Amino acid sequence: MQSLPENEIVESILSAIAEQRLPAGTKLGEQTLSDLFGCNRANVRRALATLAAQHVVELRPNRGAFVMTPSPKEARDVFQARRAIERTIARAAAGQASPEDIRFLRQNIREEAEARDARDKPAELRASRDFHMRIAQVADNEVLDRFLSELTMRSTLILGLYARHGTSSCAEDEHARIVDALERGDSDEMVALTDSHLRHLEADLDFDAQPRAATLQDQLAPRRAPSQNA
């Protein structure tokens, strides 16, 4: 069954945000998106409404749609929410991981490190997000999984906008220690390591950072086919 145009637009924009190809503040012009995806503006408006509901796009009256630019307070709120949710996930996941889960996570750590060494930022960011989402899958709580999916996307926007080193990502040794605790079933250690890891990411934020510019044509057109899930 062929994907609806609005679904393709949503997936492409989410992928671009998740890989920090589409930074905060980028204008999402209806006509530009219509031309890029070969669809009508009604499809575009439905896609933008979906993205606004996920808190990654802002619809400004008489100005149009823009990739969300989180304020410093919103950034702190997102990380506070992530810590609360991921601590709960960590406690639920401890001792529940299968050998396949552990293999996936250790391979994920290697892939993230290889992407970092190769300066492949999109691949590094995908691996980092996949790590956190796999642990949420191990915890087996669909509601928390959905919340975390949105929060990790919003975190990527925040890190792309405010991280001191341009595009912050997760530290390899921190992820490795989390997997060790997960495999041992040490729930207290899992919670402590997860909390410390997220605080480390938040501590790297610089709220005086200036946003960088990007265009839809440059950032979406090359990635349109095939569409990727965020």
- Alpha-carbon span 99 to 195, nearest angstrom: 24
Which pLDDT value is given to residue 169? 59
pTM: 0.82
Tell me 205's DSSP state.
B
Share of the chain above pLDDT 70, in %: 86
Alpha-carbon 207 to chain mean position: 19
Q: Which among 28, 84, 56, 47 is positioned nearest to 161, based on CA atoms?
A: 56
Return the sign of the alpha-carbon dihedral for residues 204, 207, 212, 215: positive
Q: Which residue has the higher pLDDT, 219 or 26?
A: 26
- Give the pLDDT confidence of 10-56 residue by residue, as tens digits: 999 999 988 888 888 999 999 999 999 999 999 999 999 999 999 99
Averaged pLDDT for residues 69-89 = 96
Q: Rounded to the nearest 10 degrees, how much is the dihedral formed by the CA atoms of 38, 41, 44, 45?
A: -170
Which pLDDT value is given to residue 155? 92
- DSSP of 177-201: HHHHHHHHT-HHHHHHHHHHHHHHH
Which pLDDT value is given to residue 227? 38
pLDDT band at 171 (very low <50, low <70, confident <90, very high): low
- Give the pLDDT confidence of 115-158 residue by residue, as tens digits: 999 999 888 989 999 999 999 999 999 999 999 999 999 999 89
- Alpha-carbon span 79 to 67, nearest angstrom: 19
Tokens of 100: 């396949």
Helix-strand-coil percent breakdown of the chain, rounded to 5?
A: 65, 5, 30
- Whether residue 83 contacts residue 198, with contact meaning beta carbons closer than 8 Å, is answered with yes
> Bridge-partner residues for 65, per DSSP?
59
> Bridge-partner residues for 57, per DSSP?
67
Query: Rounded mean pLDDT of the chain?
Result: 88
